[in-house]
Structure 1
Amino acid sequence: MEAPETLQKAIAYFSDPQRSFDAAVDFRWPGGNVTCPRCGQAKHSFIKTRRLWFCYVCKKQFTVKVGTIMEDSPIGLDKWMIAMWMLANCKNGISSYELAKVLGIRQNSAWFMLHRIREAMKGNPDFKLGEDEGGPVEVDETFVGGKIKNMHRKHIREKYHGQATGGANTKTIVMGMIDRNSRQVRTKVIPNVKRDTLQGEILANVSKRTPVYTDNAIGYYELAKQEFVHETVNHLQEYVRGQVHTNSIENFWSLLKRTLNGTYVAVEPFHLDRYADEQAFRFNNRATKDNKLTDSDRFALLMSQVGGKRLTYSELTGKDTDSLHRETAGTGQEEPF
């Protein structure tokens, strides 16, 4: 398949049901090696008039959507592909209201679509930052959320149950790391900035003996004892000392907050990980001097990641998780629907 190069060409190309189906099959099963998503077997027959397969092993039918983020969605492949193209390539994201207008669907359907696409954007790296002569690695955390003084008294009571609030406790903490060599960033919402939390994440994501640059927050103290080459910069006195700085990860924070403040406006803390994954996907796959990735390349990469992932509406809204998970401090209300 010759992939379209622009959004206009993508809309024209995928508007044909057969071409969108063929493209989805090529992305899902490169080389045409179709296997049943339930049993993994390739013994099946294709029902052309209905664009589905019948598996002779598990005796069930399956479509190209089964076993992907699109499973059980009545929305056509053409609209799914345009949504993926836009979210993968719009630098500041796209709101569910805007996507609903573009695709001609309801806003709550667009909101659900976007979160399912973010699930596909989530990276599953099997390597640590700084490996194979990588690094140095910059580590920093940022606080996302609105100010208590701007919140309605009713929302303060609902969120904090009358408890005293103030400072960072009213915001959600996102920790980030970036490898200067590979230019890859990783993010994670963390519960606090205690030493065990911060250094535990570094141990899980950064190869030992890698140079690690941070600010002088107390949570990073004695990081060198964990076999890292640790250097800090005191932002009260300086921002750069030779090669020691955290400017690269702070650049990523500016991109993330521009997206949150300008496009999504209000994000609940239990959804924040997904928005960070979205921004990290675009950042990690941006065009650079050494890697000339195009919009079509980012779209193809995203389409190749839709398999083996599933996000139900109950999981997304927290209906099948512990209610305590919803009591985390945050930034306001998710996009209403």
Structure 2
Amino acid sequence: MDEQKQFPKSLMQAVRYFADADVCVEFVAGMRWPNGASCPHCSGAKVSYLKTRRIFKCMAKDCHKQFSAKTGSIFEDSPIPLDKWLTAVWLVVNCKNGVSSYEIARDLNVTQKSAWFMLHRIRLALQNGSFEIMGGDEGGPIEVDETFIGGKPKNMHAAKRAKAQIHGQHTDKPVVFGMLERKTRQVRAKVIPNVKRDVLQAEILNQVAPGSFVFTDAHKGYQGLAEKTFIHETVSHLNEYVRGSVHTNGIENFWSLLKRSLAGTYVAVEPFHLGRYVDEQMFRFNNRTTRDNPLTDADRFVLAVSQIAGKRLTYAELTGKVEETSSEPF
């Protein structure tokens, strides 16, 4: 491969590399179909590529449908060219605190509305549900915590502050629940309806191996975990934050990154969309560069593009006009 076709390692190189429409199609098709293109309508392997139109045609006897590299992916039915889509993906997965739709709109010369829609479709691609059990002998202790997302009480109107705050809990704020596996440094997080004991403990029972060490704060919702085959240790943040190896600092670090992106980059996030912003931050956190996992910007980009197929988000689904068909992360 000549020097000009070397795979990009930086944003500037990526913009130049994907400036060629044929390169974009070849790259996306190669990520979706590493063993050769197959028809997304009938799964037929016998297809023909129409180079002048940059589309494929299924040659199966009962199909003969045309499709593109976008069909059956987050890019489907989008008039925005692939070079802009791929640049947007690169920005989202490699900007530590996220990137706003206004910035995407300026950088890619699209409308803010289009950029907002693009970002949510990319977040859907970043969603990576896992059915593997956390903890056990391989994963080590699990840090468990929950957090409320929303404005600070001191910034609220007095009447709203009095209504929202009941015994220190902000009942009108959306709640995000998270678990961090110490050994692998992997996080799983999702929006949950409330912080009641049955909701919190159901998430732990479904995701953590019996007999695992589970570290939490002193929230009453975690009481009784020791009776459910877990080795449960707590730290009361009224008195201490660390007791030996018992702490929740790892998952709280993830909360700080999430809230920094929400407050500093996105500014205002509707609870209806919060889950996708959590997916975005979780993807970046779980694929960050570490001593044991030296991922590059290009690695994160390739991983994200490899997850675009089979995920579709229409504008009607995004705005709540029809029910979304995509599954939850876990």
Same fold (TM over 0.5): yes
Aligned residue in 2 for 1:142: 147
Aligned to 2:50: 47
Q: What secondary structure, in the 3-state scheme, does the structure 2 residue paired with 1:80 have? A: helix
Aligned residue for 1:8, secondary structure, equals helix
Specify every segment of 5 or more residues in structure 2 that has no aligned partner in the other structure, as ranges: 325-330
Say whether residues 1:6 and 2:10 are aligned partners.
Answer: yes
Shift of 1:56: 2.9
Pairing partner for 1:69 from 69, 74, 80: 74
Partner of 1:170: 172
CA–CA distance in 2 between the matches of 1:78 and 1:14?
Answer: 5
Deviates more, 1:253-262 or 1:121-130: 121-130
| Paired residues of 2:217 and 2:234 also in contact (CA < 8 A) | yes
SS of corresponding position for 1:133: helix
Q: Distance in 2 between matches of 1:274 and 1:185?
A: 15
- Quick one: which of 119, 122, 125 aligns to 2:127? 122
Matched residue of 1:175: which SS?
strand
Structure 1 counterpart of 2:248, which letter? T
Aligned to 2:138, the other structure's residue is in SS state coil
User: Which position in structure 2 is the counterpart of 1:133?
Assistant: 138
TM (norm. structure 1) is 0.89
- Please name the residue that 1:289 is paired with: 291
Counterpart of 1:112 in structure 2 is 117
| Aligned residue identity for 1:62 | F
Residue 254 (structure 1) shift: 0.4
CA–CA distance in structure 2, aligned partners of residues 149 and 236 of structure 1:
21
Inter-partner Cα distance in structure 1 for 2:116 and 2:156: 24
> Which residue does the alignment assign to 2:300?
298
Partner of 1:35: 38
Structure 1 residue ranges without an equivalent (≥5): 157-162, 323-337
Question: How far, CA to CA, are the matches of 1:66 and 1:276 in structure 2?
Answer: 26
Question: Aligned to 2:89, which of 64, 68, 84?
Answer: 84
C-alpha separation in 2, matches of 1:120 and 1:321: 18
TM-score by length of 2: 0.91
Q: Is the 8 A contact 1:94 1:263 kept in 2?
A: yes
**1:126 positional shift:** 2.6
Task: Give the counterpart of 1:181 among 180, 183, 191.
Answer: 183
Q: CA deviation at 1:6?
A: 0.3
User: Does the aligned pair in 1 maintain the 2:136–2:211 contact within 8 Å?
Assistant: no
Q: Secondary structure at the match of 1:232?
A: strand
Residue identity matched to 1:48:
K
Cα distance, 1:261 vs. partner?
0.6
Report the secondary structure of 1:225's partner residue: helix
Which shifted more, 76-85 or 120-129? 120-129
Between the aligned partners of 1:131 and 1:39, the Cα distance in structure 2 is 42
SS in structure 2 at match of 1:186: strand
Q: 1:131 to 1:64 in 2, by over 3 A?
A: farther
Partner of 2:194: 192
Do the aligned partners of 1:214 and 1:231 also contact (CA within 8 Å) in 2?
Answer: yes
Aligned length: 313
Q: Is contact 1:148–1:170 with CA below 8 Å preserved after alignment?
A: no
**Contact 1:147–1:170 (CA<8 Å) still a contact in 2?**
no
Instruction: After superposing the two structures, state which structure 1 stretch, 128-137 or 62-71, moved more.
Output: 128-137
Q: Distance in 2 between matches of 1:43 and 1:208?
A: 48
Higher alpha-carbon deviation: 131-140 or 107-116: 131-140
Task: Provide the C-alpha distance between the structure 1 equivalents of 2:49 and 2:265, rounded to a whole number of angstroms.
Answer: 42
Displacement of 1:232: 0.6
d(CA) in 2 for partners of 1:207, 1:49: 54
The Cα shift of 1:199 comes to 0.4
Residue 327 of structure 2 corresponds to which residue in structure 1? none
- Higher deviation after alignment, 226-235 or 82-91: 226-235
Query: Once superposed, which parts of structure 1, at least 4 consecutive aligned residues long, lie more than 6 Å away?
Result: none
Q: 1:218 aligns with which of 210, 217, 220?
A: 220
- Amino acid of the residue matched to residue 138 of structure 1? E
Bigger mean CA deviation after superposition, 278-287 or 44-53: 44-53
Identical positions, percent: 58
Question: Secondary structure of 1:46's partner?
Answer: strand
One-letter code aligned to 2:191? V
1:89-144 CA-partner distances (Å, limit 9, x unpaired): 00010000000000000000000000000000001213111155212110000000
**Superposition RMSD in Å:** 1.8
Q: Counterpart of 1:30 in 2: which secondary structure? A: coil
What does residue 267 of structure 1 align with?
269
